[in-house]
Amino acid sequence: MNLDFKIKNLLLICLIFLGVFTQYYSQTHDKIDFKTGADQPELYLPLLKGKTIGVVTNQTGLMSDRTHLVDFLVKNGIKIKSIFAPEHGFRGDADAGEKVKNGIDVKTGIPIVSLYGNNKKPKQDQLKGIDVVVFDIQDVGVRFYTYISTLTYLMEAGAENNVEIMVLDRPNPHDGYTDGPVLRKKWSSFVGMHEVPVVYGLTIGEYGKMVNGEKWLKSGVQAKYTLIPMKNYHKKQRYAILDKPSPNLPNDKSINLYPSLCFFEGTQVSVGRGTDLPFQIYGSPWTPNLPYQFTPKPNSGAKDPFLNGKLCYGENLSDFSKDLKELNLEWIIKAYKNYKNPDQDFFLKNLWFDTLSGTDEFRKQIIAGKSAQEIKASWKPDLDKFEKIRTKYVVYEN
């Protein structure tokens, strides 16, 4: 009896170990075999040979050996007429909202055309002689992060000028879930062009497919759209990002917190621009009951940061280790309740908060003292509706 029991126990331990090892090996093996669109040139080089192309990219357009896509294409004899640079510029060192100038890439001699400021959409003459525009940018999967808007304008210009758009897909660090208010058309802007939630659960390549398929481009036009998908990508896994997507998202922690903290940009509260912890802290001079202290000062990521030189009281979230699979509303609600300034409202007068939210309802709910649970419950019907659209364009499994 005792020997049988020991053998059964031993067998059970072996089976558990085998199961854990198999699961670990499967996940590790998938990650080892994982490739971005850019890292599969066998899929796109044959489609580009003999054509004149444009490239929309920035500092994140890297292959796994850290070769930049532009350099790789030039080396492989692909004729690039123009590099189109989004917000933050081709090298990714411009402040948010800063004017990005046209110029020449010193390394390759290729002209750089800014797709920011007054020229968000490529003009007809800028696309003249171009057969294909290749889009390769690391996105962060959040509606108010402007690269999906850049892609939308590019697709629109491509459709109007008979230029093919090719997207080399990359991971979405907020993939596999949706959350937040769904944008109302009235609040459409460059930080939110479509009726989607704040976190929309699609890679940038899938998002482009949705924009095309739902005919969301101006006048219902559709672009000639080619997606170079990733290999062995899973929507709920998280993948290392090769370079920071923008100056104030320097690491995985800031990217993880970004969807929840970016709402503060529409308030009198700093999110740490002008510190070593952008989008990892929040605070203001008018929330003195909060424990953490910091003072924003000009730095390479923020030449004139919000609340420059003012002592702020808030919270340090840089040790927050949970991989967020939903928006955390407790921080904005807590800051609102602790805000004490009789001369200025918590929300900026220009109601940038509503533009970021895509609705005025969220702001009104915070003012009315609604709980995070009540606010989230109000989003559910719109999220369910969006899910029916989203599922049509999913390329990758969870």
Residue boundaries of the structural domains of the chain:
41-241, 252-367
pLDDT along the chain (398 residues), means of 10: 54 50 39 90 98 96 96 97 83 52 81 88 96 97 96 97 98 97 96 97 98 96 98 94 91 96 98 97 97 96 94 97 94 98 95 98 98 98 98 94
Q: Which two tokens stand for residue 169?
A: 């897909």
Amino acid 105: pLDDT: 85
H or E element in which residue 56 lies: strand 52-57
Task: Please check whether residue 57 is in contact with residue 63, taking contact to mean a CB–CB distance below 8 angstroms.
Answer: no
- Locate all alpha helices (DSSP H) within 216-276, ordered by sequence: 252-261
Distance, CA of 336 to CA of 366 (rounded, Å) = 8
Amino acid 300: pLDDT: 87
Amino acid 364: pLDDT: 98
Q: pTM of the predicted model, to two decimals?
A: 0.88
Amino acid 119: pLDDT: 87
Amino acid 60: pLDDT: 94
Q: Which residues pair with 302 in a beta bridge?
A: 299
Residue 115 phi, psi dihedral angles, 5° rounding: -110, 50
Amino acid 28: pLDDT: 40
Residue 169 phi, psi dihedral angles, 5° rounding: -75, 150
Amino acid 88: pLDDT: 61
Burial class of 167 by CB neighbour count within 10 A (0 to 12, 13 to 18, 19+): buried
Q: What CATH class has 41-241?
A: alpha beta
Sign of the alpha-carbon dihedral angle for 380, 384, 390, 391: positive
Amino acid 196: pLDDT: 98
Amino acid 116: pLDDT: 82
Amino acid 7: pLDDT: 56
Q: Which two tokens stand for residue 366?
A: 């915070």
